[in-house]
Amino acid sequence: MEASAMESSALELCITDFKSEAKDIVVLELQHPQKRPLSPFTAGSHLEVYLPNGCIRHYSLLNCPSETHRYVIAVGLVADGRGGSLNIHQTLRVGSVLKVSAPRNNFLLVDAPAYCFIAGGIGITPILSMIRWCIAHGKKWRLFYSVRNKQRTGFYEELQQLADANVHFHFNDEQDGRHLDIHQVIASLSLDEHLYCCGPEALMQSVKNAAGHLPAQHVHFEWFSAPASVSTAAQSGSFTVKLKRANQEIQVMADQSILDALEEAGMDLPFSCRAGICRTCEVTVCSGTPEHLDMILSDEEKAADNTMLICVSRAQSSVIELDL
Ligand code: FES
């Protein structure tokens, strides 16, 4: 059973619509039980969802940020996953109550003259909200949407109706299994166009590699989970954590995270994703050198070494002192 320090302040919303959108994708509309207005959100925001089976998952809001009467999320079924999506697909229906956090945004749509979106599979959800915002504000945008096949393409009809000329679908099965040509997309970017990407790890890594020469502030990613390389790196030896305020030293073993070790020592610290993608567990580094393994701090923040995310990041130095 997972738990989060934020769950105690969660909202209880009612599922007012629950429908199948494409193969293995369901869409949930959430409203306040008394139809009260909800906290506003910005394009790219997500909700932390506390599921009946104890799992905590993050789902992007896909409706228009101007709407305050509802939150809409889509959930792709991960058959071999850890049980979060299966719990939603199998147990929730219209009328069920779902506990969620207020919206948070780690994938901000910065003000830019033009946007190029690359989405893979269920990664279309935050992008949809961004597209709706672009349309409402008369912004220039285009979308490259890569999916295994048409059957699994969420929001296919809606995207066609929204602005067909701006939308480029890529179905692997119609291209002899070939993937979207990321290099071609990157080469077509104009100088002032910002690139936003959300999708499976392989797609994200291809885009990250192909866009390496672009200014970092023009390229934006939303990771579903930390890449496999992060979990591998996280097995890299033991070290000592000094807790400045608690005046205590704790050993972190090779097979545990700093967060695990501190919890084992009886500390109660805030966390959410435990995967380096949400920033909830960020702590200030007083001395020592972190080994940043998260997917959310910017390159500048990582170079500054002022803070670290203790659910995944480790220490390069044998001792690291934290402001705890
Ligand atoms: S708990 Fe999400 S980044 Fe650490």
pLDDT at 1: 38
Q: From the CA of 271, how far away is ligand 1's center (Å)?
A: 5
Q: Residues with Cβ within 6 A of ligand 1? A: 271-274, 276-281, 294, 309, 311
pLDDT at 272: 82
pLDDT at 79 over 50: yes
More confident residue, 300 or 121: 121
Q: Convert the pLDDT of each residue in 94-104 to its tens digit.
A: 999 999 999 99
What would the mean pLDDT of 135-149 be, rounded to a whole number?
96
- Confirm whether 7-105 and 114-222 share one CATH topology: no
DSSP state of 55: -
Which of 265, 270, 274 is CA-nearest to residue 246?
A: 265
Q: From the CA of 309, how far away is ligand 1's center (Å)?
A: 6
Would you say domain 229-322 falls under CATH 3.10.20.30?
A: yes
Q: From the CA of 301, how far away is ligand 1's center (Å)?
A: 16
pLDDT at 299: 86
* Closest atom of ligand 1 to CA, residue 276: 3
The fold for domain 114-222 equals: Rossmann fold (3.40.50)
CA atoms within 13 A on the CB side of 35: 0
* In the chain, domain spans: 7-105, 114-222, 229-322
Helices 156-163 and 124-136 pack at an angle, to 10 degrees, of 20
Lowest mean pLDDT among 6-10, 123-127, 262-266: 6-10
**2 confidence band (pLDDT: 50, 70, 90):** very low
Asked if 156 and 150 count as a contact pair (C-beta separation under 8 A), the reply is yes
pLDDT at 233: 47
pLDDT at 75 over 60: yes
Q: What is the mean pLDDT of the chain?
A: 92
pLDDT at 6 over 80: no
Would you say domain 7-105 falls under CATH 2.40.30.10?
A: yes
What would the mean pLDDT of 77-100 be, rounded to a whole number?
91
pLDDT at 3 over 60: no
